């Protein structure tokens, strides 16, 4: 039976097929890495754009680079369900937003949707609209509505979640639930820098289809050697956790190098990719 959020990939090498059976749960298959992104190139770029009247933030650059890398490395947008590997049919990112923008406020989680041809300006527009909508005290998104229903009757939450997990495993989850679920997305992102917290390795969800989580931490000073001299460099640590069943280590490494290229020169994200790579 087909899924509403992806197409099963059948022509994979043996290593992927075996891996999906040996590591049956997503939490069994998670690898983690910290990407230390130099701040200075991004800072210079953001300052230049402000002079043009465009107030992009670090979050916009981070996300725009993710979208661009996925457009070139679609294997990052796969997921594993019931030992089968799927190619996701959209690029989506789940992110918590604090109601009212308050650190001690109630958090809500929804997901943003992107297309692989988006520029940094397109990405900024999506993020701005998403944050403004979910930050409103009066707005209730689909995730909140479902959670409200499941918690309205004693015992319903336990039964309801168990049923949803079973349906998801057997690919019979209602399409409307998949569409609003922040656990069914390409990546879950948490901006810990906004609450002055260090980067972490965000836990993996066995429920849903999210194969990667990314945590932005507050800036740190890092000692580095450049041209034979020891220097102190300001970096933005990104804690990335990924499901190793969706791609090989070499594939992830190539994607990381591509990502760092855009971090060093965000202006490259101002034009659409020359081509979009598909599965």
Q: What is the mean pLDDT of residues 97-115?
A: 74
Q: State the SS3 of the chain.
A: CCCCCEEECCCCCHHHHHHHHHCCCHHHCEEEEEEEEEHHHHHHHHHHHHHCCCCCCHHHHHHHHHHHHHHHCHHHHEEEECCEEEEECCEEEEEEEEHHHCCCCCEEEEEEEECCCCCHHHHHHHHHHHHHHHHCCCCCCHHHHHHHHHCCCCCHHHHHHHHHHHHHHCCCCCHHHHHHCCCCCCEEEEEHHHHCCCCCCCCCCCCCCCCEEEEECCCEEEEEEECCEEEEEEEEEEEEEEECCCCCHHHHHHHHHHHHHHHHCHHHHHCCCCCCCCC
Q: Is residue 161 part of a domain?
A: no
Expressed as residue numbers, the domain containing 13 is 6-137+182-270
- Domain of residue 260, CATH code: 3.30.559.10
Q: What is the mean pLDDT of residues 95-102?
A: 72
| Band of pLDDT at residue 141, cut at 50, 70 and 90 | low
Q: Is residue 148 part of a domain?
A: no
Flag whether pLDDT at 101 surpasses 60.
Answer: no
What's the pLDDT at 254?
A: 96
Q: Is residue 160 part of a domain?
A: no
Q: Is residue 151 part of a domain?
A: no
Domain count, the chain: 1
pTM (predicted TM-score): 0.88
* Percent of the chain with pLDDT strictly greater than 70: 90
Q: Is residue 156 part of a domain?
A: no
What's the pLDDT at 34?
A: 95
What integer best gives the mean pLDDT of the chain?
A: 89
Task: List, for residues 237-254, the tens digit of each pLDDT value.
Answer: 999 999 999 999 999 999
């Amino acid at each position: 039976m087909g899924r509403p959020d992806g197409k099963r990939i059948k022509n994979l090498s043996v290593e992927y097929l075996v891996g999906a059976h040996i590591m049956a749960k997503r939490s069994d298959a998670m690898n983690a890495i910290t990407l230390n992104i130099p701040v200075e190139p991004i800072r210079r770029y953001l300052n230049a754009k402000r002079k043009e009247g465009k107030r992009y933030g670090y979050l916009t650059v981070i996300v725009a680079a993710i979208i661009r890398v996925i457009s070139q490395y679609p294997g990052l947008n796969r997921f594993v369900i019931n030992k089968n590997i799927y190619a996701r049919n959209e690029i989506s990112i789940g992110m918590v937003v604090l109601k009212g923008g308050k650190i001690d406020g109630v958090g809500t989680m929804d997901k943003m949707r992107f297309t692989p041809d988006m520029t940094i300006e397109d990405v900024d527009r999506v993020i701005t609209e998403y944050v403004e909508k979910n930050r409103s005290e009066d707005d209730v998104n689909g995730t909140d509505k479902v959670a409200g229903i499941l918690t309205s009757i004693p015992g319903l939450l336990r039964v309801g979640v168990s049923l949803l997990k079973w349906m998801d495993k057997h690919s019979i989850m209602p399409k409307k639930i998949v569409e609003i679920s922040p656990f069914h997305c390409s990546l879950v992102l948490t901006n810990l820098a906004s609450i002055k917290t260090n980067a972490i390795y965000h836990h993996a969800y066995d429920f849903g289809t999210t194969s990667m989580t990314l945590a932005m931490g507050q800036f740190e000073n890092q000692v580095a050697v450049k041209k034979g001299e020891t220097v102190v460099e300001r970096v933005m640590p990104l804690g990335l956790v990924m499901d190793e069943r969706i791609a090989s280590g070499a594939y992830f490494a190539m994607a990381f190098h591509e990502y760092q290229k855009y971090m060093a020169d965000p202006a490259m994200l101002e034009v659409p990719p020359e081509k979009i790579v598909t599965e």
